[in-house]
Amino acid sequence: MASTVTDLNNFDLLGICGEDAGQFLQGQLSGNLDKLSSTHSLRAAYCDLKGRVISDMQVLQGSHCIYLLCLSGMGATLRRILDKYIVFSKASTQLLSQDFEHYGIHGEGARQTLVELFGQAPENPGDVVQQEDALAFRLTDAEPRYEVLLPRSGHNMLERMQSLGITDDTESWDLCDIRQGIIHIHPDIQETYTPQLLNYDINGVIDFRKGCYTGQEIVARMHYRGTAKKRLYLGKSREHVSVQTQLMHGTEPVGEILSVSRNETGGYEFLVILPCELAANDANLLLQNEGEASSGKGSAPVELLSIPDLQTH
């Protein structure tokens, strides 16, 4: 059974080091750092005081630091913000992106590939296995899917990983993220969306039992006191879709597409922010690409699919 190893080096890795690192991050991030260990990671977000998402991240306990794994360009942003407050703690920040390689592994043979590399594979979503400074964690997905961080020097696993054959075509990997409803924040969209719009409040990125963190009061108020008017939905179409494509209900643009990928049949699947009322009522939604705008109407039908593992109750 073959697995696909994808180069995911469009990333930043921020290390929070020192004896107060966990306590400090507990008051900053939306995830519960009490649940973090060398064998279990967390998804989390950092929000501004208005409750908008500055960055999402995977939080990992490394051998010397707590790692915040995020998209390229977000590490420096997080470091600049965290450094304003960390002076009161016995901890410091280090941008470690240049010290590691980042890969994704998925496909039928993904679990076996992890066993061959690490001697074992993480069994449950969020679980981590480590070998010296190399680590791998399992993502939430129907089929085993993993991310791996490897030191760029002094580790024999890097050569073994490269011998597997690595692709820099991320379309297949991106499709897996889209089907799981995963939106990662990049510099162009930081401080644009609330957690609710991205489903972070119902997909495990926000822990509502952990206590205070930056932006917590507003995030909690939106979750407990108000019914969401818009959310992130998974769409599918046989016609071309891009992030510039408009989603139409009659003559009215109603959706904002955040990510798109081709699927196995040549169609497109995408994540789009839509009014919840339209989705609930199975409204007739059509795509409108550039060049069709003069008609004022969309032409390609859209099918909405369910996103798995949302905590809707």
At residue 296, does pLDDT exceed 60?
Answer: no
Q: Which of 9-13, 75-79, 161-165, 214-218 has the lowest mean pLDDT?
A: 161-165
Question: Which 3 state secondary structure label does DSSP give 162?
Answer: helix
Q: What is the reported pLDDT for 298? A: 57
Please write down the long-range contacts of 81-89, taking CB distance under 8 Å and 24 or more positions apart. Answer: 81/46, 81/54, 82/14, 82/16, 82/24, 82/28, 85/24, 85/28, 86/16, 86/24, 89/18, 89/20, 89/21, 89/23, 89/24
Residue 83 bridge partners (DSSP): none
pLDDT at site 225: 83
Distance CA 230, CA 47 (A): 19
Euclidean distance between CA atoms 262 and 267, whole angstroms: 6
Structure tokens at 215: 């932006």
Domains of the chain: 8-179 (3.30.1360.120), 187-305 (2.40.30.160)
The whole-angstrom separation of Cα 264 and Cα 101 is 28
Q: What pLDDT, on the 0 to 100 scale, is given for residue 195?
A: 97
Greater pLDDT, 81 or 164: 81
b/e burial code for range 111-140 (CB count within 10 A of at least 16 → b): bebbeebbeebbeebbbbbbeebbbbbbbb
**What percent of the chain is predicted at pLDDT more than 70?**
96
Q: How far apart are CA 56 and CA 162, in angstroms?
A: 28
Rg (CA), the chain: 20
- Report the alpha-carbon distance of residue 217 to residue 167 in Å, rounded: 43
Determine the average pLDDT of the residues in 15-31. 98
Of the pLDDT bands very low, low, confident and very high (cuts 50, 70, 90), residue 275 is very high
| pLDDT band, residue 269 (cuts 50/70/90) | very high
- Residue 289 is predicted with a pLDDT of 85
Q: Which of 25-39, 64-78, 297-311 has the lowest mean pLDDT?
A: 297-311
From CA 258, how far away is CA 141, in angstroms rounded?
Answer: 20
State the average pLDDT over residues 16-20: 97
